Amino acid sequence: MAGPSSKKGKDSSGSSGHKFQVGDVVLAKIKGFPAWPGVLVGEDQVPEVVLSEKPKNTFIIRFFPKADYHFPKASDLTLLTRAECKAYAEDTHRKDGELKAAYKIGADPDDWISETDAVVREAEKARKEALLEEEENEDQLAEDDEEPKPKKPASKKRSAAPAKPSSSAATKKAKTEAKDAKGAAPRKSVGGDDEGDDAELDEATKKVKGWRHALQRAFLPKGRDPTEQDVQGQDETFTTVENADITSDQLKATKIGKVMRKIISLEHIPTDDVHHFKERAEALINKWSSVSQPSAAPESAAEKKPAVDGDASVTKAEAGAETNGNGDADVGDLTEIADTTAAPVTNGSD
């Protein structure tokens, strides 16, 4: 569809009576800015993040020369001919600058339109591949959390109802992205980059997540064992992670601990005899466990003392109140590998 339409066709016609359509070179008025030339493009020529912000009954203009986007109404548009654009661009009395460069493109826009269309396609392809990779990464890590449940014997009177499947990481991510996209302002650039869920992370956490992705791609390629080429350069990644002060919140948000645990479980890692990846991964897990877990209460606190002056004594259970409900410290994805089982306290009678 070339643009907005109505039964009378007035919505797609400007003051000159011209019915605007995709491919028209136009001059668009934007409140607070000088009128600027660009080309009207179709919905299939813009990034999804830009298209999601398009109001009803508006066109999409891609401005010259930077390929920014706007959504004007027909009343805000004036048709430009190539001859008019050429005359403006060649006028020696006009100052050189972006506006003059924009008119120069308008005089012969075909190559520019093709090039920017190609940029949009490549950017959208890369964005979708990144989303797919992220979903696969989340699904791969989620497999660690899934424990097989014992099968219950079927009743003779009634067969056991199948367990309700839990939501996959991809489904949760899709819901989050849909919610974020609804209220997100468009990036009015030709690439239409969208950070998605990462927009909620601070810069330090994004770095940790980037390290996790690098390690996961290198050591945990889907459907095969890692090769020497895969792990090449990961000694530097490990060194960076080892030197970083990663917080408990960052561990939970990035799940880098799960990747380390999977690296430890690998039977063979190329060049591990040189770089000691498994040993270093285990050392990091131990380091993060101590960072994430609260300090154990002293043994004397386990014995409840009588109240003095109305103040209740502190028990071991109260001292470790920050738990996940099962008596274990809430340390995110490290609880599966950390030995948090406390030795039993004897009362001296044994």
In tens, the pLDDT along 207-254 reads: 999 999 899 989 998 889 999 999 999 999 999 999 999 999 999 898
Evaluate whether 6 touches 19 at the Cβ level (below 8 Å).
no
Evaluate whether 56 touches 76 at the Cβ level (below 8 Å).
no
Domain boundary among 261, 292, 323: 292
Tokens of 240: 């960076």
Distances (CA, A) of 92 to 87, 95, 306: 10, 8, 95
Q: Burial level of 350, CB count in 10 A (0-12/13-18/19+)? A: exposed
| Max Cα–Cα distance, the chain, nearest Å | 103
Q: How far apart are CA 281 and CA 73, in angstroms?
A: 58
Determine the pLDDT at residue 99: 94
**pLDDT < 50 stretches in the chain:** 1-11, 147, 155-188, 193-195, 298, 300-350
**Who's near 142: CB < 8 A, 6+ residues apart?**
168, 169
Evaluate whether 329 touches 294 at the Cβ level (below 8 Å).
yes
Q: What is the dihedral of CA 53, 54, 60, 65, to 10 degrees?
A: -20
C-alpha Rg value of the chain to the nearest Å: 30
CATH number at residue 206: 1.20.930.10
Q: Decide if 265 is inside a domain.
A: yes
- How long, in residues, is the chain? 350
Q: Decide if 5 is inside a domain.
A: no
Q: Decide if 135 is inside a domain.
A: no
What residues make up the domain containing 49? 11-114
Q: Which residues pair with 329 in a beta bridge?
A: 323
Q: Which residues pair with 323 in a beta bridge?
A: 329
Q: Decide if 109 is inside a domain.
A: yes
Name the amino acid, one letter, at 108: D
CATH number at residue 52: 2.30.30.140
Q: Decide if 223 is inside a domain.
A: yes
Q: Decide if 331 is inside a domain.
A: no
Find the angle CA(223)-CA(229)-CA(230) to the nearest 5 degrees.
Answer: 45
Evaluate whether 26 touches 40 at the Cβ level (below 8 Å).
yes
Domain boundary among 251, 275, 292: 292
Residue ranges with strand state E in the chain: 25-28, 36-40, 61-63, 69-70, 77-79
Determine the pLDDT at residue 324: 44
- Smallest CA-to-CA distance from 102 within 36, 45, 40 is with 36
Number of domains in the chain: 2
Domain boundary among 275, 292, 309: 292
Q: How far apart are CA 287 and CA 295, in angstroms?
A: 14
Q: Decide if 165 is inside a domain.
A: no
HSE at residue 89, side-chain half, CA atoms within 13 A, is 19
Evaluate whether 87 touches 37 at the Cβ level (below 8 Å).
no
